[in-house]
Structure 1
Amino acid sequence: MNNSGLGQKIYSFLLAAYGRYLRTPERSLDKAYNAALKIRQIENEHFNGNKIDYDSMIHSKSVMDYFESELKKELRIIRMRLTEFKASRFFLNDSNQKAEKKLGIEHLSSAAILEKLRFIDEVVEKYTISDEEIAPINSIDQTPDVPVESLVVRPKQQNLRTTNLDNKLQNQPRGKTNTTGVLPRSIFNTIHRLQAELDPKSEQEVVQNFRKSQQRNIISVRFLLLLIIVPILTHQLSKAFVVGPIIDHFRNPDRAAIFLNEEMEEEAMLELQRFEEKIKFYDLLNNVITSEQNIEEQMRVRAEEIAEEYRRESANAIKNFTADILSVIAFIWLLLMSKKEIAVLKEFFDYIVYGLSDSAKAFIIILFTDIFVGFHSPHGWEVILEGISHHWGLPANHNFIFLFIATFPVILDTIFKYWIFRYLNRISPSAVATYRNMNE
Structure 2
Amino acid sequence: MLLAVPDCFTSFRHNKPTTTTFLFQRGRRAPHSVNPTRTRRLGLCKATLITNSDSFEVGRLLGSYGFMNITSYSGFQSGADTEYPPGDLGQLRVQDVGEGNVKISLYEGRVSQGPLRGTSVLFKVYPGQRAGGMEADMMAANELNAHTFLQSSSKGICQNLLILVGGFETKTGEQWLAFRNNGKYSAADYAKVMSERISKNRALGEQMSWNQFEQELTIKRRRYFVLKLLQGAIRGLAFMHDQDRLHQSLGPSSVVLNTIVERDAAYLVPRLRDLAFSVDIGYSSLDEGRGTLSEGLWRRASAAGAFTPMEKRAFGIADDIYEAGLLFAYLAFVPFCEAGIVDSLSLQRLLESTFKLDVEATREYCLADDRLLDAVKFLDLGDGAGWELLQAMLNPDFRKRPIAEAVLNHRFMTSAIP
Assess same fold via TM > 0.5: no
Per residue, is there more strand in 1 or in 2? 2
Structure number, greater radius of gyration: 1
Q: TM-score normalised by the shorter chain: which range applies?
A: under 0.3
TM-score between both structures, scaled by the size of structure 1: 0.24
Structure with higher helix content: 1
